[in-house]
Amino acid sequence: MAMWKEFIRKTIPYVPGEQPSDKKIIKLNTNENPYPPSPKVLKAAVELGEKGADDLRRYPDPEVKKLVQTLSAYHGVWPENVFTGVGSDDVLSVAFLTFFNSPKPVLFADITYSFYSVWTDIYRIPSKTIPVDEDFRIHVSDYNIPNGGIVIANPNAPTGISLPLEDIRALVEANQDSVVIVDEAYIDFGGQSALALIKDYENVLVVRTFSKSRSLAGLRVGYALGSETLIKAMNDVKFSINSYTMNAPAIKLGVECVQDREYFAECIRKIKDTREYTVENLQRNGFKVLPSDANFVFASHIRHPAKKIFEGLKKRKVFVRFFDKPRINNYLRISIGTDDEMRSFFKELRGVLNDLALDF
């Protein structure tokens, strides 16, 4: 083997949900918002197409000032408390690279967003997973051990279970020598945000995304909220890697998205209502469903294996997410679609369960 091949940085990459090209598929596998972006976003996109050639010719604002100012006003914080990136994955990646530089391990749950372990691997950060209990709940007291940082997804993924704010506060209070990242990708659908803690604790970073509740997964917009010290450190690292991370259309459309509060609230309400309908119907069809504060549910059938149901649904052009991993390999993660999509999902699901019952 050529010597240079020995020094290639190797890792096991994150595997995203399948993105089928067939538009007729009922796609409930990647937690995307089933509703379109705000009409204000769509109007701005048209205007950008007609008049925005100069924006595409020039470099975007590296400080992303318009979006930062819009987010700071929306959340009632100073612009110095806001960091932006290309989706929350980019924000989290920069945060890991910035803050987790200790010989002590970074702590996160054994069942959580699987990208965390990819980043600790690729950046050579020592890490330790903390087991959730038999009900898939996180106990913050388990994190009161020596560490080089803590990451909590709240609500957690893929379970959808959230922690109350007092638990997050207790976690931060007990770990003031470490940066605590609270990944709130799904917080708009339920649970209590840790945003209030950034005013009391200098070491708390709250990470958000436009990909779920704001219907902009295809545009890639994410941000973080934290103390001025944390945000400055992240910007220093960002500008040392790539100053122009967010493109001009993303900045412009992101601003319009945040400003349409009424449309945002209506989409959240519809998803929550459909989530309730989904849980009730899954239970009627023999599923155990974990309590969810996210735009998805995590469910296990009392009789039939999750993999068989997953494969049966896929044959019927319905995509859900199956994780072939210990402890969760008998669960399906099902994104909340529109009411029509969920009715179609249940029609196909009943067909799959009937087929499996005949084979049982």
Mean pLDDT to the nearest integer, 217-236: 97
Specify the pairing of strand 82-85 against strand 222-226. Answer: antiparallel
pLDDT tens column, 76-109: 999 999 999 999 999 999 999 999 999 999 999 9
Specify the pairing of strand 332-335 against strand 321-322. Answer: antiparallel
Domain range list for the chain: 18-36+262-359, 39-259
Architecture of 18-36+262-359 per CATH?
Answer: Alpha-Beta Complex (3.90)
Fold of 39-259: Aspartate Aminotransferase; domain 2 (3.40.640)
Q: Is 199 helix (H, G, I), strand (E, B) or coil?
A: helix
- Res. 51: pLDDT tops 80: no
Threshold 0.85, pTM exceeds? yes
**Nearest Cα residue to 250 out of 68, 30, 28:** 68
The CA distance from 304 to 306, in Å, is 6
pLDDT tens column, 170-184: 999 999 999 999 999
The CA distance from 256 to 264, in Å, is 11
**Nearest Cα residue to 282 out of 314, 311, 304:** 304
Please check whether residue 149 is in contact with residue 107, taking contact to mean a CB–CB distance below 8 angstroms: yes
Tokens of 345: 């999902």
Tokens of 136: 């898939």
Q: Is 52 helix (H, G, I), strand (E, B) or coil?
A: coil
Specify the pairing of strand 318-319 against strand 26-27. Answer: parallel
Q: Lowest-pLDDT range, 33-37, 59-63, 164-168, 312-316?
A: 59-63
Burial class (CB in 10 A: 0-12, 13-18, 19+), 174: middle
Amino acid at 182: V
Mean pLDDT to the nearest integer, 130-152: 98
The CA distance from 266 to 278, in Å, is 18
Looking at residue 322, what DSSP letter applies? E
293-314 in b/e burial notation, b at 16+ Cβ within 10 A?
Answer: bbbbbbbbbeebebebbbebbb
pLDDT tens column, 282-307: 999 999 999 999 999 999 999 999 99
- Res. 20: pLDDT tops 90: no
Please check whether residue 164 is in contact with residue 170, taking contact to mean a CB–CB distance below 8 angstroms: no
Mean pLDDT to the nearest integer, 55-83: 94
Same topology, domains 18-36+262-359 and 39-259? Answer is no
- Res. 360: pLDDT tops 70: no
Per-residue 3-state assignment (H helix, E strand, C coil) for 179-191: CEEEECCCHHHCC
The CA distance from 32 to 27, in Å, is 9
**Nearest Cα residue to 205 out of 293, 109, 97, 86:** 97
Specify the pairing of strand 222-226 against strand 180-183. Answer: unpaired
> What pLDDT band is residue 14 in, cutting at 50, 70 and 90?
confident
Q: Is 80 helix (H, G, I), strand (E, B) or coil?
A: helix
The reported pLDDT for the residue numbered 260 is 95
pLDDT tens column, 127-140: 999 999 999 999 99
Please check whether residue 224 is in contact with residue 248, taking contact to mean a CB–CB distance below 8 angstroms: no
CA torsion sign for 337, 343, 347, 353 is positive
The CA distance from 337 to 330, in Å, is 22
The reported pLDDT for the residue numbered 24 is 85
